[in-house]
Amino acid sequence: MDQSGVLLWVKAEPFLVGALQMPPPSKFSLHYLRKISTYVRTRASEGAYPRLYWSAWRHIACGKLQLPKDVAWLYFEIFEGLSVKTPEERLEWSELLSNCTSEDEVEKQRNQLSVDTLQFLLFLYIQQLNKVSLRTSLIGEEWPSPRSRPQSPDLTEKSNGHNKNWNDYSHQAFVSYHLSDLLELLLDPEQLSESFHSTHSSLVSREGVMALSFLIEGTVSGARKIYPLHELALWQPLHAESGFSKISKTFSFYKLEAWLRASLTENPFGTSACLKSGKKLAWAHQVEGTARRAKIACNTHVAPRRHRMVVMSQVCKQTLAKSSDTLLGAHVKIHRCNESFIYLLSPLRSVTIEKCRNSTFVLGPTETALHLYSCDNVKVIAVCRRLSVSSTTDCIFHILTPTRPLILSGNQRVTFAPFHTHYPMLEDHMARTGLATVPNYWDNPMVVCKENSDTSVFRLLPPSEFYVFITPFEMEGDTTEIPGGLPSTYQKALDLREQKIQIWQKTVKEAHLTKDQRNHLLAPETLPVHLDRQDREIKPHTSSHFVSQNHCLNFLGRGLDKCCCLRIQYQCQGIYLGPRPPTERRQGTQH
């Protein structure tokens, strides 16, 4: 700790939800970003600086960098989604887009959007987090820099995990290693040498340090309040160390860099801190016959808004259901879960599902990003702002999303389908996260990586295979149907199936059969193939009950011999995890 008692750390959220889990375009290299940094300042009157409008970025990305327009919009949209806006503002934007009747009208609305130019440059630079380097993959090091850059050896050792987006050691190592480049991106052109490097007399503007607050924040030792970087750098007692001059209203480049390096420390609200000292939650129990014990930890009891995390690992052969303040606005990571059903019915900030198998996830509205990596035979049911998938096999996504789903590298047999469930608080949770029912791009995925240019990597679920999913719990709330309804083709398929069921039931009724004969005909093994499945998907339990911290979730069991729901309520305390439910019925199979 330095003498001033100031602690700085790298913020997690820009990396968690801002850095795409794929190598960035080659034109996002430091060489091109430096050119953009100079160019935007010469186009201030054209909407490029200090706020960068979509029209200006489209010109730069498509005209100068030769990027496809949809890729240019993708990065602009992701960064804009990280900006601080109220749910009402997000809903208003969705309404504007839903009222557009042509692509030209959509483009006209997009032209009204702007982002902080310098922060956007930093955002583009941190996409290098997931850059694939042959040298890195072989020996675990970065390419040597022409200038010496201090780096803590322990950070290098701890940052070798594959998913760098959730690795706060990787975040700190990345910023520490590239700090000079990040600062140089913020310099005015006249502060750079002919080779686009800083000099000993280079000065960083206040606006530049404010932009760096996108990545760095901190606190004063002994205080609980978190401050953005620029507020600490401008604090009177720190002027000598941060290099701020009251006369020029600027910072000395080298003093500022030295102060940042000396003050950077581990993120107290990062994943590592959450696992080390976070609160352990007894949401899941070890199941007999499994080698590993389920682990769930959170920092929500100490972390401020947008810093909350819940990490869940190794839930096996269980059903877990929660709706509580612990999840509210949290970044959630679900890791190595197998043969389980997990219901997280609260508004969430982001969700990452990694290395899970043979499981179903029903999620509350996810305000920013939902990402799946290295999952097999997983079903995800969610409302989210953005979905991205990489290295998945045989996964099904029932989603409602205002952005195009992103298919990254390594996927096989991805299926997209309309969102098909509801729970009583769903619409209220959607309003709190600024997510509307329109526009909905669930059926228009974007294949981003070149290896997946063949659209056969995904399919849309045929209406003949579609069934509504019933979330089998009760809670207070007003939502009684699927928000936004179903696409007409899927609704027609359900109506036709229901009609066939009614015709069959009427035929049996009018046949004047005995009770035994009627029961025999209605048994699953004797039903026609097109009736040999319930008209609604559900996960029936025999004696399962779940109590969250704030809501009692009463199980709704569905009888197999009657077309009705039986409500079973058990009075108990704490969390009870019943046995894993039976696999959902499929055509031509029996329970």
- Which candidate, 109, 87, 85, 89, places its Cα nearest to that of 98? 109
299 shares a domain with 250: no
212 shares a domain with 294: no
Percent of the chain past pLDDT 70, that is, above it, reads: 80
User: At 384, which helix (H) or strand (E)?
Assistant: strand 379-390
Q: How confident is the model at residue 588 (pLDDT cuts 50, 70, 90)?
A: very low
Give the span between the Cα atoms of 258 and 180, in whole angstroms: 10
Burial of 94-118, coded b for 16+ CB within 10 Å and e otherwise, reads beeeeeeeeeeeeeeebeebbbbbb
Triad 445, 359, 333: Cα angle to 5° = 75
Q: What is the pLDDT of residue 473?
A: 87
Phi first, then psi: what are they for 435, rounded to 5°? -105, 130
Q: List, in sequence order, every residue forming a beta bridge with 332; answer none if it has no partner.
A: 310, 351
pLDDT higher than threshold 60 for residue 578 = no
Mean pLDDT across 425-443: 98
pLDDT digits (tens, 9 = 90+) for 101-123: 999 999 999 999 999 999 999 99
- In whole angstroms, how far apart are CA 346 and each of 300, 331, 452? 14, 12, 34
59 shares a domain with 122: yes
Q: What is the pLDDT of residue 376?
A: 98
275 shares a domain with 221: no
Q: How confident is the model at residue 587 (pLDDT cuts 50, 70, 90)?
A: very low
Give the span between the Cα atoms of 291 and 38, in whole angstroms: 57
68 shares a domain with 102: yes
Percent of the chain past pLDDT 90, that is, above it, reads: 70
In this structure, what CATH number is given to the domain that contains residue 343? 2.160.20.70
Q: Which residues span the domain enclosing 472?
A: 271-282+290-506
Q: How confident is the model at residue 237 (pLDDT cuts 50, 70, 90)?
A: very high
- Which candidate, 244, 255, 241, places its Cα nearest to that of 4? 241
Q: How confident is the model at residue 557 (pLDDT cuts 50, 70, 90)?
A: very low
226 shares a domain with 341: no
Mean pLDDT across 126-152: 56
Provide the 3-class DSSP secondary structure of residue 52: strand
- Residue 86 domain-assigned (yes or no): yes
- Residue 535 domain-assigned (yes or no): no
278 shares a domain with 215: no
429 shares a domain with 308: yes
Q: What is the pLDDT of residue 291?
A: 55
193 shares a domain with 75: yes
Q: What is the pLDDT of residue 584?
A: 41
pLDDT digits (tens, 9 = 90+) for 445-490: 999 976 655 668 999 999 999 999 999 888 899 999 999 999 999 9
Burial class (CB in 10 A: 0-12, 13-18, 19+), 504: middle
- Residue 1 domain-assigned (yes or no): no
Per DSSP, which regions of 405-561 are E strands?
Answer: 406-407, 414-418, 446-447, 458-460, 468-470, 473-474, 536-538, 546-547, 552-558
pLDDT digits (tens, 9 = 90+) for 170-204: 999 999 999 999 999 999 999 988 887 899 899 99
- Which candidate, 492, 392, 387, places its Cα nearest to that of 444? 387
Asked if residues 219 and 265 have their Cβ atoms less than 8 Å apart, the reply is no
Q: What is the pLDDT of residue 162?
A: 58
Provide the 3-class DSSP secondary structure of residue 245: strand
Q: How confident is the model at residue 38 (pLDDT cuts 50, 70, 90)?
A: very high
Burial class (CB in 10 A: 0-12, 13-18, 19+), 349: buried
Q: What is the pLDDT of residue 5?
A: 86
Phi first, then psi: what are they for 51, rounded to 5°? -105, 135
Asked if residues 147 and 246 have their Cβ atoms less than 8 Å apart, the reply is no
Q: pTM, whole model, 2 decimals?
A: 0.85
10 Å Cβ neighbour count for 199?
Answer: 12
Domain boundary among the residues 506, 521, 536 is at 506
359 shares a domain with 223: no
Q: Which of 464-473, 561-570, 576-585 has the lowest mean pLDDT?
A: 561-570
- Residue 541 domain-assigned (yes or no): no
Q: What is the pLDDT of residue 357?
A: 98
Asked if residues 251 and 259 have their Cβ atoms less than 8 Å apart, the reply is no
pLDDT higher than threshold 80 for residue 336 = yes
User: At 506, which helix (H) or strand (E)?
Assistant: helix 488-510
Burial class (CB in 10 A: 0-12, 13-18, 19+), 212: buried
Give the span between the Cα atoms of 201 and 183, in whole angstroms: 14
Give the span between the Cα atoms of 202 and 256, in whole angstroms: 11
Tokens matching residue 574: 């704490």
Residue recorded with tokens 């968690």: 16
- Residue 521 domain-assigned (yes or no): no
- In whole angstroms, how far apart are CA 317 and each of 97, 556, 577? 42, 20, 10
10 Å Cβ neighbour count for 515?
Answer: 7
Number of domains in the chain: 2
Q: Which of 312-316, 401-405, 488-492, 554-558 has the lowest mean pLDDT?
A: 554-558
- Which candidate, 268, 179, 270, places its Cα nearest to that of 226? 268
Mean pLDDT across 130-149: 51
Residues 6+ apart with CB under 8 A from 135: 141, 142, 143
Domain boundary among the residues 445, 473, 506 is at 506
- Residue 117 domain-assigned (yes or no): yes
Q: What is the pLDDT of residue 146?
A: 41
Average pLDDT, the chain: 84
378 shares a domain with 249: no
Tokens matching residue 382: 């969610």
Q: Which of 7-16, 379-388, 434-443, 544-553 has the lowest mean pLDDT?
A: 544-553
Q: How confident is the model at residue 585 (pLDDT cuts 50, 70, 90)?
A: very low
- Residue 522 domain-assigned (yes or no): no
Asked if residues 389 and 372 have their Cβ atoms less than 8 Å apart, the reply is yes
337 shares a domain with 196: no
Domain boundary among the residues 486, 506, 526 is at 506
pLDDT digits (tens, 9 = 90+) for 273-330: 999 989 998 887 655 656 567 899 999 989 998 899 999 999 999 999 999 999 999 9
- Residue 526 domain-assigned (yes or no): no
